[in-house]
Amino acid sequence: MRRKDEFIYVGVDLHKETHTAVILNCWNEKVGEITIENRTSEFYKLEELVKQHCKQLSKKDNKGIVLTPAYGLENAYGYGRALVNPALSYAQRMSAPKIKKNGSYDAQCVAIILINLLDTLPDADPADDY
């Protein structure tokens, strides 16, 4: 079983034109967000933001433990590998007292699912047939 405080959680809501990512720490606190265009040349922006937060949070909260990013992608039917079942993110979204539906909140729901189900969600393997 992995320690949840050794990770930061990046939930990604995928769309045809843009992708929105929300970064949470293990206490469900939002520490970052970015929306990028769906172009290969834009993905470095997300990677750099995640690296920046890994360094900042490692110094601040974890007494020198280097945080590892855990990424979750909501199933987007062809826009990427499905690691988080959309039924899970839908249930998380519907559990809020006031239902929100936007890319930022959807990405946050995916990150919350990563935190809650870290040890039960599948790991991505680039060699998988999919």
Nearest to 16 by CA among 40, 37, 30: 37
How many CB atoms lie under 10 A from the CB of residue 127? 5
- Evaluated on CA atoms 102, 105, 109, 111, the torsion sign reads positive
Q: What is the CA radius of gyration of the chain?
A: 14
Q: Give tens-digit pLDDT for 70-125.
A: 998 876 555 455 567 777 888 888 887 777 778 899 999 999 999 999 888 877 76
Which tens digit of pLDDT belongs to each residue from 27-76?
999 999 999 999 999 999 999 999 998 888 777 665 667 889 999 887 65
The DSSP annotation for 95-117 comes to: TSSS---SHHHHHHHHHHHHHHT
Domain boundaries, given as residue ranges, for the chain: 4-116
Spatial separation of the C-alpha atoms in residues 74 and 130, rounded to whole Å = 15
User: Under CATH, which number does the domain 4-116 receive?
Assistant: 3.30.420.40
Q: What is the pLDDT of residue 95?
A: 81
Helix 103-116 vs helix 86-94: crossing angle, to nearest 10 = 110
Please state the pTM of the whole predicted model.
Answer: 0.83
Structure token digits, residue 98: 């006031």
Going across the sheet that includes 18-24, the strands are 30-37, 18-24, 7-14, 68-73
